Amino acid sequence: MHDCCLLLFLHPRRVAVAGASGRMGRMLIEAILASGDLQLAGALDVAGSPAMGQDAAAFLGQNTGVAITADLRAGLADADVLIDFTRPEGTLAHAAVCTELGVQMVIGTTGFSEEQKRQLQQAAETIALVLAPNMSVGVNVTLKLLQQAARALDDSYDIEVIEAHHKHKVDAPSGTALKMGEVIAQAQGTRLADRAVYERYGHTGERKSGSIGFATVRGGDIVGDHTVLFAGTGERLEITHKSSSRAGYAQGSLRAVRFLAGQRSGMYDMFDVLGLQD
């Protein structure tokens, strides 16, 4: 039995959820309660939420004894790890308290600036955290496939990243789309910042060789679709992942929680969690 599995067997991990009354928060709470090896220990939300003070699992018709609170220290007091799919500013506020209390983090929040990422890296000097723009196991296997494809295909293949999400998503391109571009660029020994094209309008001229284009679609209740197109002469390769629900994100997050049982500090991603690192 692996060390982390033994730890989970002896001491079930106590998990708090940020954004507990949101769609992702509820999916995470339901997954934790159904897991059999994890325990719901806290539920956080912003002050003024209609769910404030309610049992975290009231939407399931269950009573867990864990009330939704805006008090970070109270919500984290009994937790080993916090799962956070909120906004960058909220996640950083949570990270400050988690660092103080020694609570690990699984972060699926997207839209961080470079400075905000540095702040999380500083937190990782004290606590262990998993930071990934997409917790889905399938998406991360897709990233590995993109890495392999990018290494095998030369610069005669034009690369486009097309993503689609629901109308309420506030950042674009999606964190997952950006991660796909980063993985491709790194696999080819370059930087995405030197190759990315995010806008096309008017007389753009011919496509610049080596560029990585991004196209964004927003509408309806699309959970998340991502396609990377490698367009060559006489052929094209498309690698696609489509999410039909947030369940995949929740299950990947729980795998990250289990992975952290064996870590003291440091920043990890889903390649670490899934054993996909080279």
For the question of residue 168 being annotated catalytic, the response is no
Domains and CATH numbers, the chain: 3-135+246-274 (3.40.50.720), 137-243 (3.30.360.10)
Give the count of beta carbons closer than 10 Å to the beta carbon of residue 114: 7
pTM above 0.85, yes or no: no
Q: Specify the 3-state DSSP secondary structure of 63.
A: coil
CA dist list (Å): 218 to 1, 53, 165, 242? 45, 34, 5, 15
Helices (H) and strands (E) in the chain, counts: 9, 12
Mean pLDDT of the chain: 94
Least confident range from 90-94, 99-103, 212-216, 273-277: namely 273-277
CA dist list (Å): 211 to 98, 154, 198? 40, 13, 10
Does residue 2 register a pLDDT over 90?
no
* pLDDT tens readout for residues 223-272: 999 999 999 999 999 999 999 988 999 999 999 999 999 899 999 999 99
Token pair 């539920």 in the structure block, residue: 43
Q: Specify the 3-state DSSP secondary structure of 250.
A: helix
Cα 250 to the center of its chain, rounded Å = 10
For the question of residue 169 being annotated catalytic, the response is yes
Which of 2, 144, 169, 179 is catalytic? The answer is 169
Task: For residue 23, give both structure tokens.
Answer: 């769609």
Does residue 9 register a pLDDT over 60?
no
Q: What gap in Å lies between CA 151 and CA 179, rounded to an integer? A: 16
Q: Any idea what DSSP says for residue 60?
A: G
Helix (H) or strand (E) holding 104: strand 104-107
Which of 94, 117, 144, 165 is catalytic? The answer is 165
